[in-house]
Amino acid sequence: MATRRYLFGYLTDDFFGRVIVAGAGQRVGELAEQLTAWGVPGDRKGAVTVTNEAGAVLDPTMTITQAGLGNGDIFTVDREL
């Protein structure tokens, strides 16, 4: 059985935080795609930057485990214009 992580995700252009349950092997880029799909549609369709609670930029190709995200951690997705 895959280990699940309960994370809190925020979009910089949306005021809702969302709880995301994801497998530990899921990629950071996939988390960002999932969060932006649930967000408010807008003019921002470019690249995204994912950061952790400390503000460190996370590599989108890393798994959640490799990026150091654990249960209850917060990540933020910034959609570029």
Give the model's pLDDT for residue 28: 96
- What tokens appear for 80 in the block? 């570029």
Nearest 5°: the CA angle 11, 28, 56 is 70
7 pLDDT above the threshold of 90: yes
For 11-46, the pLDDT digits (tens) are 987 778 899 999 989 999 999 988 888 776 665 567
Give the model's pLDDT for residue 6: 94
- What tokens appear for 50 in the block? 């994912």
Give the model's pLDDT for residue 1: 46
- What tokens appear for 6 in the block? 């309960």
The gap from C-alpha 8 to its chain's centroid, in whole angstroms, comes to 8
For 46-80, the pLDDT digits (tens) are 788 999 999 999 999 999 999 999 999 999 999 87
- Residue ranges covered by each domain of the chain: 1-13+27-63+74-81
Q: Are 78 and 9 in contact (CB under 8 A)?
A: no
